Amino acid sequence: MTQRISLSEIPRAYEPQSVEKRIYDFWTDGGYFTPETDHDREPFTVIMPPPNVTGELHMGHALTIALEDLMVRWHRMKGESTLYLPGSDHAGIATQVVVERMLAGEGVSRHDLGRDGFNQSVWQWVDRYGSRIYEQTKRIGASCDWTRAAFTLDEGPSAAVRTTFVNLYKKGLIYRGERITNWCPRCHTALSDLEVKYREENGNLYQIRYDLEDGSGALIVATTRPETLLGDTAVAVNPEDERYTGYIGKCVILPVLGRKLPVIGDEAVELGFGTGALKVTPGHDLTDFEIGQRNGLPTISVMNLDGTLNSNAGPYEGQSMEEARKNIVAQLEEEGLLEMVEPYKHSVGHCDRCDIIVEPIVTKQWYVRMEPLAKPARDAVANGETRIIPDRFAKVYFNWMDNIRDWCISRQLWWGHRVPVWYCDDCDEPIVELEDPASCTHCPNGNLRQDEDVLDTWFSSALWTHSTLGWPRDTDDLDYFYPTSVMETGYDIIFFWVARMMMMGIENMGKPPFHTVYLHGLVLDPEGVKMSKTKGNVLDPLQLIDMYGADALRFALTIGNSPGNDQRLNEQKLESSRNFANKLWNAARFVMSNLEDAGSALNGWYSPALPSHRQDRWIMSRLNRVAAQVDRLMHDYQFGEAQRTIHDFFWHEYADWYIEMAKIRLRSDDDADDSPLPYLAYVLDRTLRMLHPFMPFVTEEIWQSLKERVPPDPDAPDALIVAEYPMVDAAYFDDDAEEDISLVMETVRSIRNLRAEFRIQQHRRIEAVLDLPQDGDVAVAEADAIKMLARVEPLKFGAAANGAASADSANGESVSLVLSKGVVTIPLGGLVDLDKERERIRGEIADMERNRDRLNARLGDERFLSRAPGEVVERERERLAGIEERKSRAEDVLARLDV
């Protein structure tokens, strides 16, 4: 890959800034991201959820890419033809708003430019800034096939949109109708539910009296929006509500306008909620619209598309909704019809792009009839063709499918896929064909005009899994890579995107678009709060990459991560991940320093013989057990646990123990034929392979350096990214070696813990007597390792030696530590002042008891538990558990001293 550099030139700490771009260019230049269609091999395909062309990389993107890319890299290393297809979404309303704001800064509106001129300006903006999200995606290490990158307005996806619309229209599954929709008065378009963001706001709840026409009484209704009463067409009560059964069929007088309204019975009115009487405004509320449809009520819209009131508002025509509210409340109060006003906190919908309050209004829109499309998509999950992970979200999916509503697919925008419907000016009949019509197919006239609306962005996104592969054309990519393998995305868009992809994939292709849906949770801030710009708690992944490196960010996002669960990201996780990259770097640096002049000792290192030395047998056995565990976890989509398993093996077994034991053997140089070097190199190589999907940059950099310092492996490729992922070789399993080295580790840990408890300086060697009745030969054979790692000198063995130490113990001059298979005794005479140690330990126990009692009281306080952030409560519980553990250890040591 690069010219070999000497170890002295390799930095002592990993420097991601000097590595990541160079490694990424190496991968792209080598063509490693671009698969070939090979029908003799099973493909693995992930279609990246297309980020908005206006967007910048955020933590949700970073988590998505980290998870998708680790799957892709793993399957690529398993030898599968692997496609990770990137793309971006034209993001109709978002992009239009961005460009309109840009033009406004120049004193120009879109209406000044006209539709064609405005769209030309948008394309210029996309050409200039549209690749920004791609460059940011590369920085996190996504191994995408950039030669196949797609944009939702490209010719191919546009043809897919046109074909799908025409096919559904001719099947009677697309129609135009008047329904209630979310409407943005600023953007002048209908909005999908995903484009409406709700937030809690302080308002008022107004109780208004509607007098019965016959003068026999009144009904009191409660509303947060008194201005909408101008569009009321009924008052509804629940027919089971005994308070109002006598009112049904009567009429009330609408305040302000004096219109007669019927009192109707409808089960949508909740029993026991509010006053029990509901003002019905079919033109401005979804529930009311449905009540109106069931009861044959007229629909009165009182709002213009710009948010002002129309002629149906009577004296309030031309006022804004906010002005009308203030004036209507004043009139109600003046007329004695305002019974009560009380403060009320409620959720208010705002346009996600311009933040204006969204108004539900009735407009004529294009809809997809969803029920016929939903059934096969539901069945595909029910019968196991497509699996949702975690499976609890299958219930959510079924519930949505079973209660599905028709989908409003038209938007009153200029940027996007224009609705492919033409109208004849003479006969007004719609024309819907695959090709633009030259004349009317219903009459001789040729004066045609195209529908002004564009399609919902999610319409093209619903086709993404097959439109990106060439559909509706019959392409080799479509034949080979469809159905795709895994759709990885956030659980919050299972309705908006996943379900629609399922429906459209089955409709157009006859097969579900993927066999697995993997849903991740949200990335929360350190306090467990959802990130948002308004809260000021957003973490920028690009800044984190600059600070910690892409591998550290990926590792922090995915370690311990489980499907569908939210997770917190904090500085500690990022620092720990960066520390692990440095641990990997430094351990590899040590190993490579010993490989430089190894000569024949490394022959056949890439396929080592069954080792004879106990330590080599142990590490090879552990490597293969870890490989087996990782393989199982990866197949089970438990990526966070697989990652943790590799991390713990490398740090806590290979680096902390095997390398340290190998150092002793390398220094002694007694037996060149029994060198640990082949196993140091082999286990490092295999661990780098296992870690590569999780930390691609640092592992590739180390692997390239390692490759230069060992004899060539005839089966190794030029890059780690395409090296074979470690397979399990049960021939290396060795229960005896694992048990023996575990005993060595237990012995060393026990002595280290005692040194720490008594604050014995590390450079000072201490005596130890080890009595292992059944495993004495193991202790003798591993004596050098025990002495070096526990800083012990002398180390004595057997019951006789332990008997002498026991005499000291009886005099309070030594401490015996019970092991799983024996005892280690440490004479302390002359090392520490035992009376002072007893006094110190008793003082520490007293301090720990006071801290324990304080924490117990705090954690027993319901006010603290209800008010404190979840992370603070969990941190206090962890502190309490730590105190209890330290107190137990201290009491154990004190008991040994008091024997």
Stretch among 483-492, 583-592, 827-836 having the lowest mean pLDDT: 827-836
Q: Is residue 805 scored above 50 in pLDDT?
A: no
Predicted local confidence at residue 471, as pLDDT: 97
Q: Is residue 760 scored above 90 in pLDDT?
A: no
166-177 residues labelled b (16+ CB within 10 A) or e (exposed) = bbbbeeebbeee
Residue 151, SS3?
Answer: strand
Predicted local confidence at residue 172, as pLDDT: 97
More confident residue, 199 or 546: 546
Orientation angle between helical segments 550-558 and 696-707, nearest 10 degrees: 120
Orientation angle between helical segments 132-139 and 541-548, nearest 10 degrees: 40
Predicted local confidence at residue 806, as pLDDT: 46
186-207 residues labelled b (16+ CB within 10 A) or e (exposed) = ebebbbbeebbeeeeeeebebb
| HEC string for 587-602 | HHHHHHHHHCCCHHHH
More confident residue, 293 or 532: 293
Yes or no: say if 19 and 698 are a contact pair by the CB < 8 Å rule. Answer: yes
Band of the pLDDT at 899, cuts 50, 70, 90?
low
What average pLDDT does the segment 4-8 reach? 65
Predicted local confidence at residue 800, as pLDDT: 52
What average pLDDT does the segment 597-614 reach? 86
Predicted local confidence at residue 561, as pLDDT: 83
Q: Alpha-carbon dihedral of residues 512, 515, 519, 520, nearest 10 degrees?
A: -140
Yes or no: say if 186 and 351 are a contact pair by the CB < 8 Å rule. Answer: yes
Q: Is residue 163 scored above 50 in pLDDT?
A: yes
Predicted local confidence at residue 819, as pLDDT: 83
Predicted local confidence at residue 5, as pLDDT: 62
Predicted local confidence at residue 882, as pLDDT: 87
Band of the pLDDT at 669, cuts 50, 70, 90?
low
Largest CA distance in the chain: 117
Band of the pLDDT at 898, cuts 50, 70, 90?
low
User: How far is C-alpha 58 from the chain's CA centre?
Assistant: 11
Q: Among candidates 512, 325, 414, which has minimal Cα distance to 109?
A: 414
Mean pLDDT of the chain: 90
Q: What is the pLDDT of residues 321-376, one digit of tens each?
A: 999 999 999 999 999 999 999 998 888 899 887 888 999 988 899 999 999 999 99
Predicted local confidence at residue 868, as pLDDT: 77
More confident residue, 137 or 446: 137
Predicted local confidence at residue 193, as pLDDT: 78
Distances in whole angstroms, Cα of residue 781 to Cα of each of 411, 736, 741, 826:
78, 14, 11, 20
Stretch among 380-389, 749-758, 780-789 having the lowest mean pLDDT: 749-758
What average pLDDT does the segment 221-250 reach? 92
Predicted local confidence at residue 280, as pLDDT: 94
Radius of gyration of the chain (CA): 36
Q: Is residue 682 scored above 70 in pLDDT?
A: yes
Q: What is the pLDDT of residues 612-656, one digit of tens each?
A: 999 999 999 999 999 999 999 999 999 999 999 999 999 999 999
CA angle 45–51–53, rounded 5-degree value: 130
Phi and psi dihedrals of 666, rounded to 5? -65, -35
Stretch among 126-135, 459-468, 478-487 having the lowest mean pLDDT: 126-135
Q: Is residue 319 scored above 50 in pLDDT?
A: yes
More confident residue, 766 or 3: 766
What average pLDDT does the segment 482-497 reach? 91
Yes or no: say if 610 and 730 are a contact pair by the CB < 8 Å rule. Answer: no
Judge residue 541's burial from the number of C-beta atoms within 10 Å of its C-beta, 0-12 exposed, 13-18 middle, 19 or more buried. Answer: buried
Distances in whole angstroms, Cα of residue 159 to Cα of each of 60, 409, 505, 536:
30, 17, 15, 42
Band of the pLDDT at 17, cuts 50, 70, 90?
very high
Q: How many CA atoms lie within 13 A of 665 on its CB side?
A: 22
Give the β-pairing of 514-520 and 387-389.
parallel
Distances in whole angstroms, Cα of residue 682 to Cα of each of 176, 646, 711:
66, 15, 12
Percent of the chain with pLDDT over 70: 96
Band of the pLDDT at 401, cuts 50, 70, 90?
very high
Predicted local confidence at residue 417, as pLDDT: 97
Band of the pLDDT at 1, cuts 50, 70, 90?
low
